[in-house]
Amino acid sequence: MEGRLANPFDIFILPIVYNAIFALKKYTILFLQPILYINSKLIAMTPKIAALILPAAFFSISLFAQENAKPEDTEYYTPVPKVVTPGRACGQAPSDAIILFDGKNLNEWAPEGDTNSTKKWVLADNFMTVDKTVGDLRTKRRFMDFQLHIEYRIPADIQGSGQARGNSGIFLASFPWGAGGYELQVLDNYKNSTYVNGQAGSIYKQSPPLVNACKKPGEWQYYDVVWTAPRFTESGELKSAARVTVFHNGVLVQNNFELRGDTPYVGQPAYHPHGPAPIKLQAHGDKSKPISYRNIWVREL
Ligand code: MG
């Protein structure tokens, strides 16, 4: 048979070309492998690297910003607080207050449950005195959050002991169910002891006063109160509890206390859904002489 003679191209050139291609492929792979490996590691480590680098970057930027900060960077000019003229003397109503009682009349007040009743407490000498036959007196207006100033006087010749000695109370929101509201206790606790969570300055049966700041019977005393009403959802669930801060004769007795609900005489506090509510003054049924109130004003917050 006649065979095909190998030519020089087959013998010498082709093997060189094949080897070159093989070598190129092999070394390309060997060369690319570490790059691909490093790349994949870098991608995997990206979050860690970012976690290290970003805070450092932010820190550097904030350091740079602090070094270059100007006083005016943290100063702003609006909204401008409205101007309120303070009372001339301590305890006098500021210009934006709603005057609930200035000693002249009881127009802002009504007996509980009877807005049109003409029966009210006794008005004389610029103050009003509890009439226990009339019962509790409440504001005709309703309030949510407010600052309240109110002054009271226990009769100088007060008799009785414990809870039966000049007992009254300021219900910071009043309603005709449950305990009837949230009572800030008014009582003569000048050298008269009782359960501490029921003495003057207490949120009745929830929070004793931080200190006993009572003055002697016969002297005018005062409360300054900051009241944040509770909030409820449309379905009546408690959204945020009521909070109260109270100064008694200028002394802090309740410091942003969060109420657990209303203030019953018997049983546990509970919340009952309500909106804006009157402020109520208590005509307590004890046999001691009735106390007096004067200079009552409120600022809605
Ligand atoms: Mg009371």
Q: What is the pLDDT of residues 107-132, one digit of tens each?
A: 999 998 776 777 789 999 899 999 99
Name the DSSP letter for residue 72. G
CA 163 to ligand 1 center in whole angstroms: 8
CA 36 to ligand 1 center in whole angstroms: 81
CA 197 to ligand 1 center in whole angstroms: 11
CA 183 to ligand 1 center in whole angstroms: 7
Q: Poorest-confidence range of 63-72, 221-230, 277-286? A: 63-72
CA 3 to ligand 1 center in whole angstroms: 128
- Specify the pLDDT at position 3: 47
Who surrounds ion ligand 1 at CB < 5 A? 167, 169, 282
Which of 35, 57, 73 terminates a domain? The answer is 73
Same domain (yes/no): 144, 272: yes
Count of the separate structural domains present in the chain: 2
Same domain (yes/no): 218, 135: yes
CA 264 to ligand 1 center in whole angstroms: 11
CA 202 to ligand 1 center in whole angstroms: 10
Q: Is it the case that residue 289 has pLDDT exceeding 70?
A: yes
Residue 179 lies in a domain: yes
> In angstroms, rounded to a whole number, what is the distance separating the alpha carbons of residues 240 and 247?
23
Residue 3 lies in a domain: no
Q: Poorest-confidence range of 8-12, 87-91, 177-181, 197-201? A: 8-12
Same domain (yes/no): 148, 242: yes
What DSSP assignment string belongs to 114-181? -TT-----EEETTEEE--TTT--EEESS-BSSEEEEEEEE--TT----TTSSS-EEEEEEE-SSTTSE
Residue 113 lies in a domain: yes
Do 219 and 291 form a contact (C-beta atoms < 8 A)? no
Neighbouring C-alpha atoms within 13 Å toward the C-beta of 247: 11
CA 168 to ligand 1 center in whole angstroms: 4
- Token pair recorded at residue 73: 């960077």
What DSSP assignment string belongs to 180-207? SEEEEEE---SS----GGGSTTSBTTTB
Neighbouring C-alpha atoms within 13 Å toward the C-beta of 62: 6
Q: What average pLDDT does range 209-213 have in this prediction?
A: 98
CA 246 to ligand 1 center in whole angstroms: 16
Q: For residue 213, give its domain range.
A: 98-300
Same domain (yes/no): 273, 165: yes
CA 242 to ligand 1 center in whole angstroms: 19
**What CATH number is associated with residue 137?**
2.60.120.560
- Specify the pLDDT at position 93: 98
CA 206 to ligand 1 center in whole angstroms: 13
Same domain (yes/no): 68, 102: no
Residue 63 lies in a domain: yes
Q: What average pLDDT does range 166-181 have in this prediction?
A: 95
State the average pLDDT for the chain. 89
Same domain (yes/no): 159, 40: no
Same domain (yes/no): 22, 159: no
Do 192 and 162 form a contact (C-beta atoms < 8 A)? yes
Residue 83 lies in a domain: no
Percent of the chain scoring above 70 in pLDDT: 80
Same domain (yes/no): 194, 108: yes
Q: Is it the case that residue 230 has pLDDT exceeding 50?
A: yes
Same domain (yes/no): 161, 37: no
| pLDDT band at residue 285 using 50, 70 and 90 as cut-offs | very high
> In angstroms, rounded to a whole number, what is the distance separating the alpha carbons of residues 57 and 216?
65
> In angstroms, rounded to a whole number, what is the distance separating the alpha carbons of residues 92 and 133?
31
CA 187 to ligand 1 center in whole angstroms: 7
Same domain (yes/no): 26, 107: no
Residue 124 lies in a domain: yes
- Specify the pLDDT at position 2: 46
Same domain (yes/no): 117, 237: yes
Residue 78 lies in a domain: no
Same domain (yes/no): 24, 150: no
CA 167 to ligand 1 center in whole angstroms: 5
- Specify the pLDDT at position 117: 73
| pLDDT band at residue 46 using 50, 70 and 90 as cut-offs | low
Which of 40, 73, 106 terminates a domain? The answer is 73
Give the alpha-carbon dihedral of 92, 95, 96, 99, to 10 degrees: 50
Which amino acid type is present at position 96?
Answer: D
Q: What average pLDDT does range 38-48 have in this prediction?
A: 63
> In angstroms, rounded to a whole number, what is the distance separating the alpha carbons of residues 217 and 159?
10
CA 30 to ligand 1 center in whole angstroms: 91
Residue of higher predicted confidence among 276 and 27: 276
Residue 139 lies in a domain: yes
CA 284 to ligand 1 center in whole angstroms: 6
